[in-house]
Amino acid sequence: APHAQTLTTPFFLLLCQVTLKTAKMPLNLGDTIPDFKFKSTAGDMSMHEWLAKSEWNIIFSHPADYTPVCTTELGRVAELIPEFQARKTGVIGVSCDPVDKHLGWIKDIQAFKKLSGDFPYPLIADDKKEMAVALGMLDPDEKDNTGMPVTARAVYILYQKKVKLLILYPATTGRNFDEILRIIDSLQLTVNNSVATPADWKKGDKCFILPSVSSEDATAKFPKGFETSQVPSGKAYLRLTPDPRD
């Protein structure tokens, strides 16, 4: 057994290194996320089974249980669950430890954030890092105590099981979940309305009509009207309109 461990550990390290070099980001925008089978704090399930509960979903990964930045992130998301529910968006986390460790860690998260009751979203146990490797979520610059790359802080926002947005943070940088809520607002606005949101846009602000929409079609499609900025090029592409959903 000791000899087998000596062979296995370097082999897995080499596998991780090869994966990091050859599979930078296996999923692209518009791709359907694979139907992973996994154990979680909500029981055994498949990814597509869980995603079927909501049209919009967010998956966010973590390097490890019982770590400080991850504790603040999971606690913050628990506080924001009413905001995600208002956007009809499902939430699930991923961490590279088994379910029993997740359950113990959740008690720390709740104590740290002064939360009570059942934890409001599930946490996937990716203890073999199969999901992390398959989705290109390893951070080559940060290692665990065995020398293996830890899972990066990935964010996948999915619409009907397809990737609408992905962000990969290093393990050392905690995420801003208010910004992620803003992103969801933008995605939900733009998915069916022929508009795009400008820099620093917030829900309720004016948005741009897509350049692919003609002036004639814009007049019919946006009854609230729109304003066109005059620019030296003379091109009428900066057309702001109120939120078409209001």
What is the spatial distance between Cα 69 and Cα 169, in angstroms, rounded to a whole number?
12
Looking at residue 127, the DSSP 8-state letter turns out to be T
Average pLDDT, the chain: 88
pLDDT of 27 strictly over 90 = no
Greater confidence (153 vs 121) lies with 121
Query: CA 77 to CA 177: how far, in whole Å?
Result: 7
Tens-digit pLDDT profile for residues 217-246: 999 999 999 999 999 999 999 999 999 987
Q: What is the pLDDT of residues 33-89, one digit of tens each?
A: 999 999 999 999 999 999 999 999 999 998 889 999 999 999 999 999 999 999 999
What is the separation of C-alpha 71 from the centre of its chain, rounded to a whole number of angstroms?
A: 17
Residue 26 has pLDDT above 90, yes or no: no
User: Which structure tokens are listed for 238?
Assistant: 């900066």
For residue 108, is pLDDT > 50? Answer: yes
User: d(Cα 54, Cα 160) in Å, to the nearest integer?
Assistant: 8
